[in-house]
Amino acid sequence: MKNVKYQWNTFQLYDYQRVEKHLSAMAAQGWRLEKAGSTSWKYRRAEPAKVRYAVTYSATASQFDPGPTEEQQSLAELCAAAGWEKVSDCLQMQIFSTEDPAAVPLETDEALRLENIHRCMRRSFIPANIIILLLMLFIGRDFFQSLVTWDLYGMLKSNAVLIAGTLCLAVVLLQLYTLAAYFLWRRRSRRSVEDGGPCLPVGRGCRWANAALWVLLSLMVAVFLLSELSRGHRGAVLYFMVYVALLTLVNVLIRAFSALLRKRGVSKTSNMGWTVAAAILLAFSLAYGLVWARYETGWFSDEVPTEDTYEYRGELWDLSPRQDFPLTLAELTGETYGHVRREAEDLGSVFIPRRNWRETALLGDGPKVCELGYSIWELSSPALRRSLLDDLLEDDPVKFHGMTFFTLRYVPGNPVPWGAEAVYRRYHDDDPYDSWLLVWPGRVAAVSLDDAPTEEQKALISARLAPENWKEETR
C-alpha cells in the first residue's frame, strides 16, 4: 500500500473555496496535503479525520524566495495563535489547517479578501496568462493569418502546420476564456461583497476548459504521429519524441536549479536572474542541438539505409531503381541512362495529400547529369484547389536587405498540348524556366525538367500525371 500520491493541480489561484472543500474531503479519506506545487500536489496517507482547511493569500510570496517573507512569517504566527497550522503554499496561496471545530476563521472581511486576491492575481496569474497568450499568437502567427484571410491551403498544407496551429488557437482561446472568467468572477464577487455577502464560488468552466485542452492535445499528437508513421516518416516521429523528451528534461532541470538556489539562500532577485539565464541557455542548446542533429548527422532522416546502391563519381546510385514512378526520364526522353537514383516522399496533410518524385541520372556514363522532378497535390474540393493555386501563383520576390533582386512568377500558357484544364510556366523576371504548373479538376501537378518539352512529351506527361477521371473524359 503506497503512502504517498500525487494529483494534478487543476485549481485556479483564486479558487480558494473549492481548494478548502477538496482538501477537507481528502483528509476525510485519509490523505493529508504535504506539498502544493504549481503543477502537482503531494499527499501523504494518514488516519481519516475531520480537518478544516483555510486558504489565504500573501502578495509578497514568490517561488524564488529562499524562505518565507516577513509578511508570510507574520501571517503564520497570527494563524498559529488562532489555532491554524501552516500546511503549504502554492505561489501566493497560503494553505492552513486545523482540527479544532471552534477555531476562528482566518478571513472575516470579504472586501479585504477580494482585494488581496486581486493583488496576487496581478503579480502572477494575469501576467503569466498574458505572456502565454502573446507567445501563442507569435508562434501561430502564420496559421492565424491564414485563418483570418481564410487561406485553406495555408492552414492545411501540412500535418505539422495544421496541428501546431490548432493547438496554438486552442491555447489562445483558453487564455482569453481564463482571463475573462477571472474578471467576471471578480466583478460579480465585488457586487456580492458590496451587498454584504461573501465572494462568490468559482465556476467549473476553467477546469473543464483545461481538461478539454489536454484531451485535444493528446488526440492531435496521436493523429500526427499515426499519420507520419503511415507515410514512412519515422525520422519526423523520432524527432518529435526526442524534442518533447528534451523539452520536459529542460523544464525539470530549470525547476531543480531554481530549487537548489532557494536551498542555498540565494536572494529572490538573483534566483530569478540565474533561472532566466539558465532557461535561455538550455532552450538555445536544445534548439541548436536538434537542428544540428537533424541536418548534420542524419539521425532523423526518413531514408532507410540499403545495400542496393553503389558509388560512382562520389555519389550513390541505385542498383535497381524503384519502379513505382508514374513517369521516368527514360520514358520521357527515350535516352539510355547508365546511372539512376530515384526518390519519392509523401508530404502535405491528411486534407491535402502531396507526393514528390525526383529522378537523377547520368546520360550514359556521364558526365551529363539529367533530372526530372514533379509533385502532385490531391484536392478534394474546388475551394482547396483555388486556395492552393492562389498560393502557388502568387509572385515571389527574392529580396536581400530589403532590395528585390528578381521575382519568381507563373505565366499562363496554352493548356491544349498538355491535356490540362490550365497550364502555367515559371519565370525568373522575364526569363522562362523549364518548370510548369498543370491544373486538372481535383489535382494540381508541378513539373520541373532540364529542357523545354516537345509536344509529344507534354502529352506523355499529361497521360501519366492527370487524374483518371480526366483521362476518361478526354478520350
Report the pLDDT value the prediction gives residue 307, as an integer from 0 to 100: 57
Type of residue numbered 130:
I
Provide the 3-class DSSP secondary structure of residue 103.
coil
User: For residue 421, what is its C-alpha cell?
Assistant: 484544364
Q: Which helix (H) or strand (E) holds 148?
A: helix 141-148
Q: Is the peptide bond before 382 cis (omega within 30 degrees of 0)?
A: no
Q: E-strand spans in 48-173?
A: 52-57, 85-90, 93-98
Query: Of the candidates 330, 339, 342, 329, which has an alpha carbon nearest to the alpha carbon of residue 367?
Result: 339
Report the pLDDT value the prediction gives residue 290, as an integer from 0 to 100: 80
Give residue for cell 529562499: 66
Give residue for cell 509578511: 71
Provide the 3-class DSSP secondary structure of residue 361.
strand
Per-position pLDDT tens, the chain of length 475 = 688 999 888 888 899 999 999 999 999 999 999 998 878 899 999 999 999 999 999 888 777 777 777 777 888 888 888 889 999 888 888 999 999 888 888 888 899 999 999 999 988 889 888 998 998 999 899 999 999 999 999 999 888 888 889 988 999 999 999 999 999 999 999 999 999 889 999 888 888 888 888 888 888 888 888 888 877 778 878 888 888 888 888 888 888 888 888 888 888 788 888 888 988 888 888 878 887 887 777 677 666 555 588 989 888 899 888 888 999 999 999 998 989 999 998 888 888 999 999 999 998 887 889 999 999 999 989 999 999 999 999 877 777 666 777 788 999 999 999 999 999 999 988 889 899 999 999 999 999 999 999 999 999 999 999 998 776 666 5
List, in order, residues 6 or more apart from 232 with CB less than 8 Å away. 302, 346
Report the pLDDT value the prediction gives residue 302, as an integer from 0 to 100: 66
Provide the 3-class DSSP secondary structure of residue 322.
coil
Report the pLDDT value the prediction gives residue 328, as an integer from 0 to 100: 94
List, in order, residues 6 or more apart from 73 with CB less than 8 Å away. none
Query: Of the candidates 96, 88, 94, which has an alpha carbon nearest to the alpha carbon of residue 41?
Result: 88
pTM beyond 0.85: the answer is no
| DSSP-derived pairing of the beta strands 93-98 and 4-8 | unpaired
DSSP 112-137: HHHHHHHHHIIIIIHHHHHHHHHHHH
> Helix and strand tally (H, E) in the chain?
14, 16
Report the pLDDT value the prediction gives residue 9, as an integer from 0 to 100: 85
